[in-house]
Structure formats: C-alpha cells, structure tokens
Structure 1
Amino acid sequence: MGYSAFMTSLELGFIYGFVALGVFISFRVLDFPDLTADGSFPAGAAVAASLIVNGHNPFLATAAAVLVGALCGIVTAALNRKFKILHLLAGILTMIAMFSINLRIMGQPNTPLLGGDTMLTPLRGLGLELSQLKVLFAGAVVLLFGGLLSWFLLSNAGLAMRATGANPRMARANGIDVDYNIYLGLALSNGLIALGGALFAQLAGFADVQMGAGTILIGLAAVILGEALFRVRALVIVVFACIVGSLAYRLAIGVALNSQSLGLQSSDLRLVTAVLVAIAFIVSTARRNSSWVPWRRTVRKAGQEGARS
C-alpha cells in the first residue's frame, strides 16, 4: 500500500471512528440494535454540504448536521418506546425515510462543495500537506469526542444509561427513567454518526445520498475489532478501542484492495467488508467471556446482592 492510500485509510479510519463511537453507544451501552446509522451518516453529510454550499459557516453547518442526526435517533427511539415498534424495524423505518429526506435537503443525489470553506480551511496555513492535515484534523476531533464520551459514561448520567442497557428492569426499580435514557442514548449515538458524515463531506469535498450504505456494518466491525484487540476492562480504554478498531478496519481494507498478490479491485470493496466483518465476529466470539464488559457485571452483581438483602 502506497503513501497516498495509507493516508486515505487513516483519514477514513478516524472519520468512521465517529460511527464506531455511535454504534458503541447503541449496541454496547444501551443494548439497542439501531440501524438508523445508514440514514444519519448521509444526513449529516447532506446538511453540512448544503449549508456550506449556500454560504453558511462550516462550524454552524456541522452543528446543524449533528442536530439532525440526533433527531434521527429520537425518531427511532419514539417509534420503539412510544409506538412499541421493534427496535430493528424502528431503525429501518427511520433509515428508509432519511433517504428521501436527504434528497430533499440536497435537492439532488450528489452535492459537491466546489472549493467552499470548510472546518479545515483555517488550518491550511500550517504548512502541512493536505493529506497530513486531514489526518491530523480528523484524528484530533475524534479523539476529543472519544474523551468527552468517556467522561460522560463515567458520570452519574452515564452510569444511569449504562444501567439501562445492562438491566432495564433493575434500573427502573432504582428510579432510573429508562425511556429517557434510550432517547438520550440514541440521540447521542446518531449525533456522533452524523458528525462523522459532516466531516466526511468536508474532507472528501462532496455529499452523496448513497454514501450511508453499509455504515452500520463498518461501525460494528470497528467495535468488534477494538474488542478483539484490547482486553482491558477500563471503560476509557474500551471507548478508545472503538477508534483503534476503526483504524484497523480501514487499514485492512486498504491493504486488501491495494495488494497486488490478492488481485482485488475497488469493486470488491463490499466483498472484503463482508469477509472482514465475519472474521471480526469469529475472533470476538472465540475470545469473548461473560465479564469483558465491566459495568454489566457490576450492575448484575449489585442487583443480585440487592435481591438477597
């Protein structure tokens, strides 16, 4: 793999790190299999690109993208909690609806930024190559949000959310508003995913209505690879392992598609993705034990002790 392909893989790895963090919240923290990601990722890109093209500040455009992503998560949560629709179906319904909404937002299937200002524009005077600048910027932002997510999950509000995912019945018995935490968790999850989409549009220079296909698989692969690579139980390490897993996934994709001996082409991307996800699941299953998620073991143990007393 050449230098250009390596830098592109790092850039995409950091961008999809936001997807990994979002999937971690929904699948691991809340134990809520949410498929909204395939709609919220392109929604973030569509909103950011449309606002930037129309002359709006790129930072405000990115904030608006995060808000739209959070609204996607709230819609999915409402379909599940208020209208009792199965969580998988609720996510699929939101994802399907967002395809048409994204078309409405952009007014066309593809929106190029055409050299407009982005969040990267103020940093172009640092004297770095554009590829290096993109990697450093994406890496710094995703690490910042990884730290903020770790801080939140270690707070009282984060503990309530983790308890909701670990044992909803016990959480409700202890006065925790389960519905509120699911709404909040899915809003945070899809807000992060939409942020990844907004950054992707600004760094790649375009937004496309089809760019969300397979996003949930990429996020799952990153989370599972992170679990396989790191066996440390500390919550902070678990969160940052998702970002490392995203980097490992994109580098593996880059090596596979740029390896002359394998003879793969860019059209084989989905095949390589499916194989890597399958391998990640197999490795994770082989190495998994019931105590790898520390907060779940703690919550269940506390519940058992409370039942004995």
Structure 2
Amino acid sequence: MDFYLTALLQGLCFSGIALGIFISMKIFNIPDITTDGSYTLGGAVTGILLTHHQPVYIALPVVLGAGALAGALTGIIHTKLKINALLAGILVMTGLYSVNLTIMGRSNLPLIGTATLFDLLHVITDPNQNTFLILAVVVFIVILLIGYLLKTDFGLAMRATGNSESMIRALGVNTDRMKITGLALANALTALSGYLMTQFQGFADINMGIGVVIVGLGSVIIAETFINWLSITSIWISLALVLAGAIIFQLVLAITLDIGVDANLLKMVTAVFVLLIVGIPRLAFKR
C-alpha cells in the first residue's frame, strides 16, 4: 500500500513536468530536452535556499525564475541562432549540469533540519494526508492559472504558433517571442516539480533529473490517448488528463515494484511502458 500512496504523491509532484512537456511538445511542437536540467535546477535552488534557512515562499519565485531563465535560453538559442530545438535543449541541459553542481557545491544536498513546505503547513494531523492536501492545492492552483492563461488572447496566440506558425506570423504576432515565452513557462513548471520533489524526498541530487523527461512524456502520451479517444477539445479537461496521466504513470511503476520486479530494472520498465503507450494506439489506428 505504501507503494501506491508514494506513487500518488510523486504523481502530484511530477505534474509540473507533465504540464511543461504538454506546453512545449503539444502546443509548440518543440521537443525540449532542457527538462532534465531545469528539473534538477529547481531542486538545487530549493535545496541551497532551504539549507540557508530561507523560507519556502522566498524559494518558490526564485525557483520559477531560474527554470524560466533556462527555458528562455533554449528558446533564444533556437529562434535567434537558428539552431535545431532538440540540439538547443541538449546544449542548455548539458550546461545546467555544471550550473547545478556549482549551486549545490556537492552532488547531494540533504535537507536536514530545514523547514519544508510540508512541515510549515499542518492542515491535517496525519503527515501523508497533509502532504497530499498541500500538493493537491498547489497543483490545482497551477492548473487553474495555466488553463486561464491558455484561454486568454495571449494563450490563443501561443497555441496558434504551434498549430500554424506562418498564419499567426501573418497576423503580426512575433512567433520567436512566443516560443521563448512558451519554453520559459514550460521550464518554470518543470523547476516547480523539482521544488516540490526535493522537499518531498528530503534532498536534492545532481542526478535527480536523469531520464525525467520520459516521465513527463509518458504522462502526456497517456493524456493524449484519452483526449483522442474521447475527442476532447476543452483545454481544462486536457490539463486535468495530463495530471491524471502523471499519476497513472507513477501508479504503473508502483504496481511494477509491488509485484516483485527488481528495482534495478525500473528505468527499463519505464522505457518499455512509454514504448507501449506510444506504439499500441498507432498500431490500432493502422488496423
């Protein structure tokens, strides 16, 4: 049972990554690999600020700003230097490894004796329920803000940039600026996941972001499968399904551990699971 409770809480922590991947890949059609670095960046900034006794409400905007800066850098390299988006993300992600290591000063930074978000707010006496409630409120607020943004004129311009860049450019919209802003927003959300996960697990680690883009991608693909099956057009329902996809992804990994699969094989199981959810719907469509 502990596996499933932890999976639920981790799914909520990873919702920022899933939303970030949704924005970069499904709205802008940009495969952004900066995710691996910006997730760790969020954790590194959170860890160093909390260990220096800065309150969590001070750490949060700094984390969001750091993630947005990383995403904007990828966008600038892609749009202004005309470098392939995938390569731009890889370059920034590689550089962020050194940045994160410099910020933390070591490879692993435990949050011993620090006050985290889950320690400061005691809404419910049971610690697990209290953690769940705090994460649920944070995720709800994030989805509310992102959904509202995507419904505004600015958000519609962002979505149109991904759907038909030439058309929206003909209407006078600066598509380069839209891409930079979109990648900044996506990586700010990814850094938010690092912020939450670092406090949830009690430490920041330089390798915590390795392969995390697969988690976000798998969550989005799960959501996309339901969106296509149910022919959903509402942005609110789509965002809710992305959140559900992040939780389902973690629950599948929890089931894998619960049935006795070696934890050393968890990354391989993750890769196979993503391959299945990508491949099976396409095979069914061809038939």
Query: Which stretch shows the higher mean deviation, 61-70 or 225-234?
Result: 225-234
Instruction: Determine helix, strand or coil for the equivalent of 1:111.
Output: strand
Structure 1 position 229, deviation (Å): 2.9
Match of 1:160 in 2: 157
CA contact (8 A) 1:30 1:161 kept: yes
Number of the residue aligned with 2:200 = 203
Of structures 1 and 2, the one scoring higher in RCO (CA 8 A, sep 6+) is: 2
1:228·1:283 contact (CA, 8 Å) conserved in 2? Answer: no
What secondary structure, in the 3-state scheme, does the structure 2 residue paired with 1:187 have? Answer: helix
Gaps of 5+ in 1: 290-309
Provide TM-score, normalisation by structure 1.
Answer: 0.89
Sequence identity percentage: 35
Is residue 9 of structure 1 aligned with residue 7 of structure 2?
yes
- Measured after TM superposition, the shift of residue 55 of structure 1 is 1.1
Name the counterpart of 2:53. 55
> Is the Cα contact below 8 Å between 1:227 and 1:284 reproduced in 2?
no
Q: State which drifts further: 11-20 or 224-233.
A: 224-233
The 1:70/1:215 distance shift into structure 2, 3 A limit, reads same
Residue 129 of structure 2 aligns to a residue in which SS? helix
Structure 1 position 288, deviation (Å): 6.7
Query: Which of residues 191, 207, 216 is equivalent to 1:194?
Result: 191
Q: Quote the Cα distance in structure 2 between the aligned partners of 1:288 and 1:188.
A: 33
Q: Which has the larger radius of gyration?
A: 1
Give 4+ residue runs of structure 1 displaced > 4 Å after superposition.
286-289
Query: How far has the Cα of 1:287 moved from its partner?
Result: 6.4
Q: Which secondary structure does the structure 2 equivalent of 1:81 belong to? A: helix
Deviations 1:184-241 (A, max 9, x none): 1001000000001011111111000000011111101000011223422211111111
Residues 139 and 284 of structure 1, relative CA distance in 2, 3 Å threshold? farther
In 1, Cα distance between equivalents of 2:281 and 2:89: 25
* Aligned equivalent of 1:66: 64
| Superposed displacement of residue 284, structure 1 | 4.0
Deviations 1:254-304 (A, max 9, x none): 0011114xxx11111101101110111024435679xxxxxxxxxxxxxxx
- How many residues of Structure 1 are paired with residues of Structure 2 in the alignment? 283
> What's the CA shift string for 1:94-120, capped at 9, x where partnerless?
000001100000000010010311122
Three-state SS of the structure 1 residue aligned to 2:109 is: strand
Q: Distance in 2 between the 1:152 and 1:95 partners?
A: 27
Q: Secondary structure at the match of 2:33?
A: coil
Q: Deviations over 1:130-165 (max 9, x none)?
A: 222222211221121112111111110000000101
Question: What residue number does 1:236 align with?
Answer: 236
SS at match of 2:14: helix
Is the aligned partner of 1:116 residue 2:114?
Answer: yes
> How many Å separate the matches in 2 of 1:168 and 1:228?
25
The 3-state SS of whatever aligns with 1:200 is helix
Task: Specify whether residues 256 and 152 from structure 1 end up closer, same or farther in structure 2 by C-alpha distance, changes over 3 A only.
Answer: same
Quote the residue 1:249 is aligned against: 249
The verdict on how the C-alpha distance between 1:186 and 1:288 changes in structure 2, with shifts beyond 3 A counting, is: farther
Structure 2 unaligned residues grouped into runs of 5+: none
Relative to the length of structure 2, the TM-score reads 0.95
Contact 2:3 2:257 in 1 (8 A): no
By how many angstroms is 1:46 displaced? 0.2
User: Larger deviation: 180-189 or 129-138?
Assistant: 129-138
8 Å Cα contact 2:20-2:189 kept in structure 1: yes
**In the TM superposition, what are the counterparts of 1:70-109 in structure 2 within 5 Å?**
70-109=68-107
